[in-house]
Amino acid sequence: MFAGQPVKAGMIIVRQRGTKFRPGRGAGLGRDDTIFALREGIVEFGRSGDKRFVSVSASAGSAGSVSAGSVSAGAE
């Protein structure tokens, strides 16, 4: 995955050996150090000192379309 790409919950963002990247908000760490998305949103990479983080930010379009999109699709 690259920064700015949309992801769904459960999608793998980074496969790694060791923790080169650490999970940030909206991301989780698997037993094999794989980072995966915990929620739907946009992938972001960041740095804090020597540590690099991968997070998933909820985009304005995806958060509203998930709940409202499924309701309005049935009404149309």
**How much is the pTM?**
0.73
Helices (H) and strands (E) in the chain, counts: 1, 7
Q: Would you kindly state where each structural domain of the chain is located, as residue ranges?
A: 6-69
- Output the DSSP codes for 22-54: EE-TTEEE-TTS-EEESSSEEEEEEEETTEEEE
Domain covering 6-69: architecture: Beta Barrel (2.40)
In tens digits, the chain (76 residues) has pLDDT values of 889 999 999 999 999 999 999 999 999 999 999 999 999 999 999 999 999 999 999 875 554 444 444 444 444 4
Give residue 45's pLDDT. 95
Q: Which residues, in sequence order, are CB contacts of 56 under 8 Å at separation 6+?
A: 7, 13, 24, 25, 26, 27, 37, 38, 39, 40, 41, 42, 43, 44
